[in-house]
Structure 1
């Protein structure tokens, strides 16, 4: 066994650059594991900088200088964020509070529907089981509603956190856009001059990560706006809230769409019951999901993501468990990173022979 292990180590870890890359990845993982919470503003700044970098490059291609292009994109993005906070988020928050206020009535209606099951299928479910299920669900919803209504930024911690995000993140984005090349040069100055493997992995990940983040932002915007417009035209309550949920659900491939279908179907059922309006809304929702999966995603991510669906689901589960929301958000880029490293990793068979003499 020891001989087999020694041969395996000799085959895959005999290259100094490979060992250095493994060490860097290990240290980076430890830093994120222990300091992930403190580094959230940095992650947010990097994501926003990646999103805006494409626009900066396009403005530079039409003749603007680097600083002018960065300033233009930064002002445009700031205006978009301000509009979100002034118009969209207040409407979503109001609909969310109204939804929780109506939850007791929805639970009562759901109980009436479920109590028909013991009458029609007594051999499968009992009335006691239904009552226990409804009681558990009502207790959980009550606790969630109390937390929502009592949630406030009046605490000192909440105010400090908000100040960090609203002051520090924009500065980080601006500096990443203005001095990104110099920052990268400074961070890589201590690395060996000859680093073909690292450069290969970095070049592949830099392109794919930028395409993924920009593509995901565009996908969220398209799916969210299309859902809101469709639901508003069909007259469903909480159209803005549902549009936001459906838009954000694309962050979690496959799983997100399945999970968000539940609140969409329940709200439509509580409003209309088993009616034509319910069927029309679910048809519209199905069409949006089909267009997203078969048109939008292939157009946006045909080059950025080349992973099997099983690999994507496993990556979401693993990295989401390790790092929560950020693990879910970066699950596909991290899986792509693993794939790039495996593809570029040298073995003893591929190494050049030592110099004679």
Structure 2
């Protein structure tokens, strides 16, 4: 006789869920080098699928249509990297001067700390070395994430090509692996997943271009050196929900501190970036990045941090669309709907405790009225 988990006491259900989560996280961690490229390839294949389908409708052979779609994407990415590399070369020419200026500012800061808090310069250097030593594991993890990202670049074209080529095979597998009575739900999940991912990625790209233009314009008007490069880097960091925008402010502030006297430019940078973030969060994101699935701010921050802990830099970018897919699935399965509501951004006007108390009051009043 089969024993259903949901019929067991709560502590058994909780233990089973926790054990399952630990097992899933362990598998995801062990198979990082395989799953991360596949994750990026799946999202990009969904993004390129409409272009490949349009070419096939114009009588272009399937293999050739996939290759053309991938070449167009490659040309766009190459153009972006060429533009950024030209800006990086200009930045490299001024690196010795910037390094000298930063050293002077650092020494002045150390003398200020010594005069204000009585901490000797040698003691500050020792504390800094200890802090750097303690953060070696974090730096190693970041470098590992960057190396993994380079590996992804070489594997992505292969994975994307075969995913687009074998798309009918993959879809048939997903339909056949579930019972026939669930085929309608499977179709809805696949359709919504495709729409959500396409909307999310396209929206992010448009948002990134607009934010890069606003960042660069603001920095150039304020006279910050390499404003275009720093503005574009800030727009890329802005792709990391909620956290990237905060980190991006530090770059222009640091550059202004190194290259300019006084603090008026730094104050202008902070004000400009606050205005840009307000426009981004209240206008661009709701109207451009808004997809069929919305994840609330709390869950977005948590899953981004969890993604970083699990898969590093790649995990931070994959976490939001991955959770969006999970929410679509949760919303279609009765027992998992509470989890879908927890991930969503629809805040109920009344919580369940009030509803249950009102029901109990009504049940208590009805027998008295009948008497």
The CA RMSD over aligned residues, in Å, is: 4.4
Deviations 1:74-110 (A, max 9, x none): 3322222332344423532662685487335314313
Alignment match of 1:291 (pick from 251, 263, 279): 279
Once the two structures are superposed, the pairs formed by residues 1-357 of structure 1 within 5 Å of their partners are: 7-8=7-8, 31-56=27-52, 67=62, 70-92=66-88, 95=91, 98-99=94-95, 102-103=98-99, 105-113=101-109, 115-116=111-112, 119=115, 122=116, 126-128=117-119, 132-133=123-124, 136-137=127-128, 168-186=155-173, 188-195=175-182, 197-347=185-335
CA displacement at 1:296 relative to structure 2:
1.4
How many correspondences in the alignment? 315
Measure, in 2, the Cα distance between the counterparts of 1:161 and 1:325.
8
| Cα distance change on mapping 1:105 and 1:225 into 2, 3 Å | same
CA displacement at 1:298 relative to structure 2:
1.0
| Cα distance change on mapping 1:86 and 1:310 into 2, 3 Å | closer
SS class of match (2:295): coil
Q: Is the 8 A contact 2:207 2:289 kept in 1?
A: no
| Cα distance change on mapping 1:236 and 1:137 into 2, 3 Å | farther
| Cα distance change on mapping 1:287 and 1:100 into 2, 3 Å | farther
CA displacement at 1:321 relative to structure 2:
1.4
TM-score normalised by length of structure 1: 0.69
- Residue 154 of structure 1 is matched in structure 2 by none
Q: Is the 8 A contact 2:224 2:256 kept in 1?
A: yes
Measure, in 2, the Cα distance between the counterparts of 1:60 and 1:297.
33
Q: Is the 8 A contact 2:149 2:314 kept in 1?
A: no
Q: Which runs of 5+ in 1 are unaligned?
A: 14-18, 145-157, 349-357
Measure, in 2, the Cα distance between the counterparts of 1:211 and 1:9.
42
| Cα distance change on mapping 1:317 and 1:78 into 2, 3 Å | closer
Q: Is the 8 A contact 2:293 2:327 kept in 1?
A: no
| Cα distance change on mapping 1:299 and 1:106 into 2, 3 Å | same
- Residue 351 of structure 1 is matched in structure 2 by none
Q: Is the 8 A contact 1:49 1:176 kept in 2?
A: yes
Measure, in 1, the Cα distance between the counterparts of 2:154 and 2:297.
38
CA displacement at 1:47 relative to structure 2:
3.3
| Cα distance change on mapping 1:335 and 1:186 into 2, 3 Å | closer
